[in-house]
Structure 1
Amino acid sequence: MKLTREQVLSYRVAAQGLYRDATRTDRLAVLDFGVQDSAGEQARLAFDARLSKPPAAEAFGPGKPLALVWSLRGAPHVHRRAGLDALAGALYPLSEQDAAGRLNETGPSVARAGISALDQYAIAVRELRAAVRAPTGKGAVSTAVSRAIPPVMLRDCRPCKAKHISDSAMRAPSLAAGLELVPDTAPPVLQRRPGARVPTRPDRDALRELALRYLTLLGPATPADVAGYLGARRADLMQVWPEELVEVSVDGRRAWLPGAQQDDVAGAQPAELVRLLGGFDPFLQARDRDLIVPDKAAQKALWPVLGRPGALFVDGEVVGTWRPKSSGRKLTVQVEAFAPLPASVWTSVAAEAERVGAVRGATDVSVTRAQ
């Protein structure tokens, strides 16, 4: 099956619900694999891009159907609370090398410690859970865990001028420890998830299902694409690679797609919409960046090392970037288009900026164009 880039992008737009045909946040398709959050607003921006009305200010958190946790690649993501136990099993290391990677360790550093990476991971899970019995700030959790773990697991921290558990060793095992993050807290505050099941081994069926969800929402894709998104080793992922896939060619590149989605991608219609996507929007999280934005200069603008902007998304293409600038309740959306755009698009951009303002709680919203 041969597909064009345009077919694939149009399929992803529809699969991810960017036509705004959803009315409930917890039913958004992108929550099937998680929505990354940053600065307390990226997840809400992703929800807004897909909902008929802006999301509620408190869309997720303790006691709500959605929860914020450190999950994929150790980054904060919003997931459905009901699926967190399965997700914890899906992200549990599948091998010694996988555990070392999740802990940001190397073979030599693990050998010097004299404790296997899998054992270090299990120790971190146990001590993280023991340290959090009530809502507790990250610093206090780090101090308590650092006192409890073997000294060989401590790492030098120049800013702190002390030794403590590494950031990776706190983030990666926290979901397995049954912990969640309290939204809009800085530094982060962690608390226990009521009724959380603490896994002691990987759940291969759950991992296979998670890979299938990526392929459904960001496919067609390769095993390397999926492994990169999950923060897993490709070699481990291939042990649970879904069987119900078809191989396709996307402008000459081999990729895989769930067989059930063949008709949808083949019949995908060109997208007609304007959105201001947040910098960590699920659409931009696909690992095949050359497919999303072929132009190298545009890639550098969209995915810089620091300070990621949002994307101006028009009819299925990233055509520029945007950044918010706030002063009290006033919001200015600064847009830099890669090329001249028609007046009708700028009219839609102004409407989208108003929605961004609603998400951020602004009452005065304006749009400026970068020269």
Structure 2
Amino acid sequence: MHGALKRNALRTELDRKRSYGSAMRFSWTDVCARRLAQHGLSTPLDASPAEVVSAMAGTHAQVISAAELSIALRINGATRADVQRADGLVRTFGPRGTVHLLPADELPLWLGALSAIPPGPTSWDEHVRMTGEQTEQVLAAIGEALDGKELTIDELTAALAESVGPWAVDRVMPAFQDLWPRWRTVTHLAGIRGVLCFGANRGRKVTYTNPGVTPAPAHESLPHVVRSYLRAYGPSTPQRFAHWLSAPVKWATEVFASVDLEQVDVEGETAWILAGDTAVPEPVECVRLLPYFDGYAYRVGNQPPALLYPGKASERVLPQNFQYLVVNGAVAGLWHQRKSGRKLAITVETLLKLGKRQRAELDEQAQRVGEIVGATPALTLGAVTVGGHA
């Protein structure tokens, strides 16, 4: 159990058991209290960035500055610079094939689990995709080209053209109104095979390197990822686990069945937790500003939408990738930030009336964001006029 739960006053199991068969009952307030504590949101953690990422079951890192803000928000006194200097994190392809930061010491287990997900049908046309033999040839060449090196996409493309042949780099892959080299259709696969991850940016250019990791066997890695997911997002269901991983529901159900779990009731719905993981912290008044993709990851793991997006939030916030205003674990608005030199303009659009204490905590949260990014914040309450991820 994570330290954040240990530090809080816990209710006993008997206090929360009610006559609903033999299943323990959790209210939505209970669920939010558990998740906010585990994620270091209700009370920031005294932990390293790698420990925070582990507690979150991975941190979405498509936009690295947003990931750095996500992590720093969860650590007492941390800044983006502290996260940038931290050891023990690897940026690679994680759940749903999206870019994540993962703990280096857990990477073999994560890659083993991701490699074990049954592949879905390919979306590439016949003239784009590679045969199984060609795929293995390209993956081996990627690992060799990146061994001990950090290469840009163009440099890696040139290396593959030389080692594999021009067919591997034919510009046939449609992407962003352009055509990319054929080998890039297997970039995600190279990531979960452990022969490719992100290196340090070279200016504005992305680089890749070889982490030198062998995926762990499925019988070790799958239980690890289920436990990581349920610690971060439980109580949950196989269907939501499948959605979080982008995996088949039948397969996810079988994986759930392989782990020692306990059935519970959440607001009349059956869900599961790790066996014995029944602790619930006392609810803490909690107003938080979650950056891009942090709220998205919180949503993907933190279903059901009807409870997470109450009232107007289901129409205003859910459809797009906004930055979330979260109050007591539920989405209560959206926000936008614009940095100019040492100044940071923060606009928060609230979808409910904040009490005096909540408004004060929002001010504190804006100050904390400014501290993390190294700028002086100016908070305005009003409509966010830009679109999602702007």
1:240 aligns with 2:258: no
1:260 aligns with 2:276: yes
1:191 aligns with 2:224: no
- Residue 89 of structure 1 is matched in structure 2 by 112
Deviation at 1:35, TM superposition (A): 0.8
TM superposition score normalised by structure 1 = 0.82
Amino acid at match of 1:318: V
**1:356 aligned counterpart, secondary structure:** helix
Q: Aligned partners of 2:157, 2:177: CA distance in 1, in Å?
A: 12
1:42 aligns with 2:66: yes
2:46 to 5, 8, 22: 22
Q: Work out whether residues 244 and 259 of structure 1, in 8 Å CA contact, stay in contact via their aligned partners in 2.
A: yes
- Residue 368 of structure 1 is matched in structure 2 by 380
Deviation at 1:143, TM superposition (A): 5.3
Q: Aligned partners of 1:356, 1:146: CA distance in 2, in Å?
A: 45
- Residue 74 of structure 1 is matched in structure 2 by 97
Q: Work out whether residues 157 and 164 of structure 1, in 8 Å CA contact, stay in contact via their aligned partners in 2.
A: no
Deviation at 1:334, TM superposition (A): 0.8
Q: Work out whether residues 277 and 313 of structure 1, in 8 Å CA contact, stay in contact via their aligned partners in 2.
A: yes
Amino acid at match of 2:87: K
- Residue 188 of structure 2 is matched in structure 1 by 171
Deviation at 1:123, TM superposition (A): 4.2
Deviation at 1:291, TM superposition (A): 4.9
Q: Work out whether residues 284 and 292 of structure 1, in 8 Å CA contact, stay in contact via their aligned partners in 2.
A: no
Amino acid at match of 2:123: E
Larger mean Cα displacement after TM superposition, 205-214 or 39-48: 39-48
Larger mean Cα displacement after TM superposition, 205-214 or 145-154: 145-154
* 1:250–1:158 distance in 2 versus 1, CA, 3 Å: closer
Across the aligned residues of Structure 1 and Structure 2, the Cα RMSD in angstroms comes to 3.2
Q: Describe the superposition over 1:124-155 as per-residue Cα deviations: whole angstroms up to 9, x where unpaired.
A: 53232133242111243345447737959964
1:269 aligns with 2:282: yes
- Residue 26 of structure 2 is matched in structure 1 by 3
1:206 aligns with 2:218: no
Amino acid at match of 1:272: E
Amino acid at match of 2:141: E
- Residue 388 of structure 2 is matched in structure 1 by none
Q: Work out whether residues 335 and 346 of structure 2, in 8 Å CA contact, stay in contact via their aligned partners in 1.
A: yes
* 1:223–1:135 distance in 2 versus 1, CA, 3 Å: same
Q: Aligned partners of 2:129, 2:90: CA distance in 1, in Å?
A: 34
Deviation at 1:331, TM superposition (A): 0.7
What percentage of residue pairs aligned between the two structures are identical?
21
* 1:316–1:309 distance in 2 versus 1, CA, 3 Å: same
- Residue 138 of structure 1 is matched in structure 2 by 153
Q: Work out whether residues 262 and 274 of structure 2, in 8 Å CA contact, stay in contact via their aligned partners in 1.
A: yes
Q: Describe the superposition over 1:96-133 as per-residue Cα deviations: whole angstroms up to 9, x where unpaired.
A: xx2345xx537xx57996835xx666445323213324
* 1:39–1:232 distance in 2 versus 1, CA, 3 Å: same
Amino acid at match of 1:299: S
Q: Aligned partners of 1:38, 1:64: CA distance in 2, in Å?
A: 19
Deviation at 1:7, TM superposition (A): 1.5
- Residue 18 of structure 2 is matched in structure 1 by none
Q: Which runs of 5+ in 1 are unaligned?
A: none
Deviation at 1:39, TM superposition (A): 2.5
Q: Work out whether residues 16 and 283 of structure 1, in 8 Å CA contact, stay in contact via their aligned partners in 2.
A: no
Q: Aligned partners of 1:357, 1:320: CA distance in 2, in Å?
A: 19
Deviation at 1:31, TM superposition (A): 4.3
1:249 aligns with 2:262: no
Amino acid at match of 2:75: L
TM superposition score normalised by structure 2 = 0.78
Q: Work out whether residues 66 and 293 of structure 2, in 8 Å CA contact, stay in contact via their aligned partners in 1.
A: yes
1:309 aligns with 2:322: yes
Amino acid at match of 1:5: W
Deviation at 1:355, TM superposition (A): 1.7
Q: Aligned partners of 2:374, 2:128: CA distance in 1, in Å?
A: 51
Q: Describe the superposition over 1:174-217 as per-residue Cα deviations: whole angstroms up to 9, x where unpaired.
A: 24233321355644211222xx2334x85232022101210121
Q: Aligned partners of 2:161, 2:311: CA distance in 1, in Å?
A: 43
**1:41 aligned counterpart, secondary structure:** helix
Amino acid at match of 1:189: T
- Residue 333 of structure 2 is matched in structure 1 by 320
* 1:37–1:223 distance in 2 versus 1, CA, 3 Å: same
Q: Describe the superposition over 1:221-240 as per-residue Cα deviations: whole angstroms up to 9, x where unpaired.
A: 11121122123222333343
Amino acid at match of 2:283: P
Q: Describe the superposition over 1:324-359 as per-residue Cα deviations: whole angstroms up to 9, x where unpaired.
A: 112122111110000221233222222211221222
1:127 aligns with 2:150: no
